[in-house]
Amino acid sequence: MSMESVRQFFSSQALDITIIELTVSTATVAEAAAAHGVEAGRIAKTLAFRLNDGREVILVARGDARIDNRKFKDAFGKGKMLPPEEVEAITGHPVGGVCPFGLARELPIYLDVSIQAFDEVLPAAGAVHSAVRISPQRLREITTGQWVDVCQAFA
């Protein structure tokens, strides 16, 4: 049902975005990069966090990025990544298919500036074998996400 919620989200917004469905798993960054024939950085991984003040937020970052603890704390305060068993209940998407579209409930969405290094990124589309191709700017517009800088810098 998760990929269906993404389809419904795109339809409700009259978006002409094609969901790419593959027969192989794209649940990890490495699997997704290999399946789509792109570098790992172009995979837009979507992470779910619970902040110490109780808020839950979604963060989209480049696939090869690592969270910089100091930057994260400066942007959000303290927080922890949600355990896998809570992710689907909160987002409506299974781990490996989590994306910022068609969420089970409204959640604040943040986009790490690291994805701006690419003209096109590939976030999942609600299933462990799905993705969409989208520019970082269009991703921000569609999700009304806010830009943040919480990942380690790339050389």
Share of the chain above pLDDT 90, in %: 94
Is the confidence at residue 31, as pLDDT, over 80? yes
CB atoms within 10 A of CB 146: 12
DSSP state string for 91-146: HSS-TTS--SSS-SS---EEEEGGGGG-S-BEE--SSTTEE--B-HHHHHHHHT-E
- Give the C-alpha separation, 25 to 38, whole Å: 15
Residue pLDDT, tens place only, 38-78: 999 999 999 999 999 999 999 999 999 999 999 999 999 99
Q: What is the structure's pLDDT at 2?
A: 87
- Give the C-alpha separation, 151 to 16, whole Å: 30
* Domain 4-148 bears CATH identifier 3.90.960.10: yes
Question: Per the structure block, which two tokens stand in for 80?
Answer: 């922890």
Q: What is the reported pTM?
A: 0.94
Question: Per the structure block, which two tokens stand in for 143?
Answer: 């999700």
Contact 135, 119 (CB under 8 A): yes
- Give the C-alpha separation, 71 to 22, whole Å: 35
